[in-house]
Amino acid sequence: MSDVKMVVNGRTVTGTVEDRTLLVHFLRENLGMTGTHVGCDTSQCGACVVHLDGKAVKSCSILAVQASGSEVVTIEGLASGADLHPVQAAFREHHGLQCGFCTPGMIMAATDMIARHPEGLDEKTVRAELEGNICRCTGYHNIVKAILAASEAMAKGAAKAA
């Protein structure tokens, strides 16, 4: 057993876990944060994507003890109160979801992608970077459309702020 301490969505959390406990299970079972989904447990589907120290990672491939001392942002930490994050709003507006199972991981991957490409994105880049996220419902068309719209809106917002 190991003690872990990390900042999750701006709040310091602690816990005692078995050394083999995956970050996704720590988030869901110990902290009750069920927005991060477990789809495959083999890092193939991307439903479990969170941000670890500012980078998108598949939380089913990281041990909770490895994340100790780090900052984690989950889908629950994106919105600001009742105001959706621009990527969440774009997914809603452009119907970038269907059953919703992959949506948290897609949104977390998209926010990371947009942060790494502040100049904007094109469809080819979005589709290439979503390769590690599987959706079995939508055919990706509306997901890509939502990410492109969010990227454009966020780039415009950054330009206004500058």
Q: What is the mean pLDDT of residues 133-144?
A: 88
Which residues sit opposite 52 in a β-bridge?
55, 72
Tokens 């495959």 found at: 40
Instruction: Work out whether strand 49-52 and strand 71-73 pair parallel, antiparallel, or are unpaired.
Output: antiparallel
| 35's tokens | 């927005």
Tally Cβ neighbours within 10 Å of residue 127: 13
Q: What does pTM read for this prediction?
A: 0.92
pLDDT at residue 84, rounded to an integer: 95
Instruction: Work out whether strand 49-52 and strand 2-8 pair parallel, antiparallel, or are unpaired.
Output: unpaired
Q: What is the mean pLDDT of residues 113-127?
A: 94
| 81's tokens | 């109160």
* Per-residue model confidence as pLDDT tens digits over 24-37: 999 999 999 999 99
Q: Which residues of 17-48 are buried (b: 16+ CB within 10 A; e: fewer)?
A: beeebbbbbbbbebbebebbbbbeeebebbbb
Q: How many residues does the chain have?
A: 162
pLDDT band at 155 (very low <50, low <70, confident <90, very high): confident
Strand ordering across the sheet containing 11-17: 11-17, 2-8, 71-73, 49-52, 55-58
Answer yes or no: is pLDDT of 138 > 80: no
Round the average pLDDT of the chain to a whole number and report it: 93
* Per-residue model confidence as pLDDT tens digits over 93-111: 999 988 889 999 999 999 9
* Per-residue model confidence as pLDDT tens digits over 45-67: 999 999 999 999 999 999 999 99
Tokens 């119907």 found at: 95
pLDDT at residue 158, rounded to an integer: 63
Distance of CA 60 to the CA centre of its chain: 13
100 or 3: which carries more pLDDT confidence?
Answer: 3
Contact 77, 54 (CB under 8 A): no
Contact 75, 35 (CB under 8 A): yes
